[in-house]
């Protein structure tokens, strides 16, 4: 984040606005709605500003700015075209550590005025950090259309029972689950529709039932995080991340995907990096079981798809054996995501009638694969975790019949902003990989379809960049 979002309580506090035109009027309107006492400095006033002064809703502090006006002020907004005055007021306010916003001048501002969706008491603020206010307004319009106009009614209804629910359900996790059930059930629908009596009756019944419920064991969801791009996360995966008490994740899960988890969810890192295992698999299994037995909703977030070289099968077996409920939510595996962004069709009528996924992970210094099958013509071979074994992979594929000229693509951090690609052939791909210094998660694609890939700016081409 470039700026830290917060909501400032201005009830009964003084706010100073510099400017008397339409931009100032919009800011004054927002300040008044937040309960602020507004003072105005302007050489001239017009329209709505003049009317507000006439109605004594704001005070006119004078025509010229005097630093003494900043005494007792909690917030300053500058909405004038006078650049010298903008700079003067901004400097004076910031010297006093007063939050100041200069309209359309983020460099002079200590805070940004967001685009606001008002469903009082629900308030949603959208900011582009001052870079694209028009985009923030467009996002606001989209949110406005998607939220019920009566959403504030639901918030006020929940406020009535907040303290009672807190006393009844002492554990925070139990309270959160209770409110989730309220807002997702008929209770929420009744409150939105204005039937407060019916909603109260249903909520009391639900709260009484929850009070006498026997604590249940939690559940583990093995969720595919995809290859890295958060836009490739499934809707179900996103929903589960928003509800999880604990997120257990590994190194292949991108920071952008992890950020979609609920802010107060516990995060447990069990990352693995080639031969350096942060947490052994047996210990991961035991931890998942223990978390579920503690009654927690657990998301085991795994890069790509849990059942494609993710050891998800082992974790499912351990959970089932322990009597823990488990659900597998598939994700877009790296082969599909990386090939798509690289423009490589994994199958093609003229070049590849089959596609094979294998792991190139070294074990005892070797890769135990069916090389004869992998070296068949007119197929695509996708190799996970194969960068360290490129020499062996290339030599074995050539020894079993593939030409040295067979195209190969290495895709590092595929689908993310950090994606890099090295394209070559079986004869030179190892040297190219060494030159490129690939260090992130890398997928290897072997086959004629690599030659069909579209050229991209992030591609490291053998001829032009590697220099071999």
Catalytic residues, which ones?
250, 272
How many Å apart are CA 316 and CA 300, to the nearest integer?
11
Strands (E), 342-393: 355-359, 380-384
Identify the bridge partners of residue 425 per DSSP, sorted by sequence position: 407
Hey, what are 372's tokens? 């004869």
Q: Could you give phi then psi for residue 128, rounded to 5 degrees?
A: -105, 15
452 class by beta-carbon count within 10 Å (0-12 exposed, 13-18 middle, 19+ buried): middle
| Helices H / strands E in the chain, number of each | 16, 20
Alpha-helix runs per DSSP H in 245-370: 255-258, 281-293, 312-321, 334-342
* Residue of 227, 272, 220 lying closest to 243 (CA atoms): 220
Taken as a whole, the chain contains a residue count of 468
Maximum Cα–Cα distance across the chain: 91
CB of 70 within 8 A of CB of 97?
no
How many Å apart are CA 439 and CA 462, to the nearest integer?
18
The four Cα atoms 384, 389, 393, 395 give a dihedral, to 10 degrees, of: 170
- Please give the C-alpha separations between residue 284 and each of 21, 278, 301, 314, 465, in angstroms, as whole numbers: 62, 10, 12, 10, 42
For 147-181, letters b (16+ CB in 10 Å) and e give eeeeebbbeebbeebeeebeeebeeeebbbbbbee
């Amino acid at each position: 984040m470039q700026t830290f979002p917060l909501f400032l309580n201005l009830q009964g506090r003084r706010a100073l606005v510099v400017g008397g035109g339409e931009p100032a009027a919009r800011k004054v309107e927002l300040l008044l709605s937040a309960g602020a006492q507004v003072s105005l400095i302007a050489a001239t006033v017009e329209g709505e500003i003049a009317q507000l002064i006439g109605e004594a809703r704001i005070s006119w502090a004078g025509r010229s700015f005097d630093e003494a006006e900043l005494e007792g002020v909690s917030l300053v907004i500058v909405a004038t075209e006078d650049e010298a005055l903008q700079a003067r007021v901004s400097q004076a306010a910031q010297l006093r550590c007063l939050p100041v916003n200069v309209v359309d001048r983020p460099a002079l501002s200590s805070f940004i005025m967001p685009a606001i969706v008002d469903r009082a008491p629900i308030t949603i603020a959208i900011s582009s950090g001052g870079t694209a206010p028009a985009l923030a307004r467009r996002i606001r319009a989209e949110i406005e259309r998607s939220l019920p106009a009566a959403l504030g009614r639901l918030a006020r209804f929940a406020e009535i029972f907040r303290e009672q629910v807190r006393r009844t359900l002492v554990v925070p996790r139990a309270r959160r689950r209770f409110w989730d059930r309220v807002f997702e059930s008929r209770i929420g629908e009744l409150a939105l529709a204005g039937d407060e009596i019916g909603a109260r009756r249903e909520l009391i019944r639900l709260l009484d039932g929850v009070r006498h419920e026997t604590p249940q064991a939690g559940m583990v969801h093995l969720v595919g995080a995809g290859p890295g791009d958060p836009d490739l996360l499934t809707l179900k995966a996103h929903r589960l991340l928003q509800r999880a008490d604990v997120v257990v994740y590994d190194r292949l899960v991108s920071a952008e995907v992890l950020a979609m988890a609920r802010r107060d969810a516990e995060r447990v890192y069990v990352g693995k990096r080639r031969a350096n295992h942060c947490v052994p698999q047996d210990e991961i299994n035991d931890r998942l079981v223990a978390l579920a037995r503690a009654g927690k909703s657990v998301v085991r977030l795994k890069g790509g798809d849990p059942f494609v070289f993710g050891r998800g099968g082992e974790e499912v077996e351990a959970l089932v054996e322990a009597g823990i409920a488990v659900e597998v939510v598939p994700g877009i595996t790296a082969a599909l995501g990386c090939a798509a962004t690289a423009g490589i069709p994994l199958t093609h009528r003229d070049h590849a009638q089959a596609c094979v996924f294998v792991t190139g992970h070294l074990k005892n210094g070797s890769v135990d694969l069916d090389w004869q099958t992998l070296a068949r013509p007119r197929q695509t071979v996708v190799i996970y975790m194969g960068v360290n074994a490129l020499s062996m992979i290339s030599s074995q594929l050539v020894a079993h019949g593939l030409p040295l000229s067979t195209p190969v693509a290495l895709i590092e951090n595929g689908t993310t902003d950090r994606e890099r690609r090295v394209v070559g052939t079986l004869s030179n791909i190892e040297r190219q990989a060494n030159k490129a210094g690939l260090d992130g998660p890398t997928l290897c694609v072997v086959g004629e379809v690599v030659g069909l890939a579209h050229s991209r700016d992030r591609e490291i081409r053998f001829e032009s960049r590697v220099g071999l």
